[in-house]
Chain A
Amino acid sequence: MNRFLLPLGLFALLVVLLAVGLRRAPEKGVIESPLIGKPAPQFTLPDLFDGTRRVQSGDFAGRWHLFNVWGTWCAECRAEHETLLAIQKGGVVPVVGLNWKDDDAQALAWLAQLGNPYAAVAADRDGRVAVDWGVYGAPESFLIAPDGRVVRKQVGALTREIWERDFLPLVTRAAPGG
Chain B
Amino acid sequence: MQTQPHSRLRRLSLGALLLMLAGVSHAIDPTPPLADAALQARYEAITHELRCMQCQNQSIADSQVGLAADLRREVRTLLVEGKSDADIRDHMVARYGDFILFRPRMNARTAWLWLAPFVLLAIGAVVAVRVLRKRAQLVDADAQVIDRFDGTDDT
Interface contact B95-A133, CB-CB below 8 Å: yes
The chain B residue with its CB closest to the CB of A137 is: B54
Interface contact A136-B70, CB-CB below 8 Å: no
Interface contact A31-B97, CB-CB below 8 Å: yes
Segment 132-152 of A: residues with Cβ below 8 Å from B: 132-134, 136-137
A interface size (C-beta, 8 A): 16
* Size class of the contact patch on chain B: 10 to 19
| Complex Cα–Cα for A101 and B73 (A) | 14
Q: Tell whether B33 is near chain A: CB-to-CB under 8 Å.
A: no
Q: Tell whether B102 is near chain A: CB-to-CB under 8 Å.
A: no
Q: Tell whether A33 is near chain B: CB-to-CB under 8 Å.
A: yes
Interface contact B67-A31, CB-CB below 8 Å: no
Segment 97-140 of A: residues with Cβ below 8 Å from B: 101, 126-128, 130-134, 136-137
Q: Tell whether A34 is near chain B: CB-to-CB under 8 Å.
A: yes
Interface contact A34-B97, CB-CB below 8 Å: yes
Taking each of B93, B94, B96, B99, which has the highest tally of chain A beta carbons within 10 Å of its own beta carbon? B96
Smallest beta-carbon distance B100→chain A, Å: 9
The chain A residue with its CB closest to the CB of B99 is: A31
Contacts of A164 in B (CB 8 A): none
Interface contact B97-A136, CB-CB below 8 Å: no
Interface contact B53-A31, CB-CB below 8 Å: yes
The chain B residue with its CB closest to the CB of A29 is: B56
The chain B residue with its CB closest to the CB of A134 is: B95
Q: Tell whether A166 is near chain B: CB-to-CB under 8 Å.
A: no
Q: Tell whether B124 is near chain A: CB-to-CB under 8 Å.
A: no
Could you list some 25 contacts between A and B, CB below 8 A? A31-B97, A32-B97, A33-B97, A34-B93, A34-B94, A34-B95, A34-B96, A34-B98, A101-B66, A126-B70, A127-B67, A128-B70, A128-B74, A130-B70, A131-B71, A131-B74, A132-B95, A133-B95, A134-B95, A134-B97, A136-B53, A136-B67, A136-B96, A137-B53, A137-B54
Q: Which residues of B contact A (CB under 8 A)?
A: 53-54, 66-67, 70-71, 74, 93-99
Beyond contacts A136-B53, A137-B53, A137-B54: 15 other A-B pairs, Cβ-Cβ < 8 A, are A31-B53, A31-B97, A33-B97, A34-B94, A34-B96, A34-B97, A101-B66, A126-B70, A127-B66, A127-B67, A130-B70, A131-B70, A131-B74, A134-B97, A136-B96
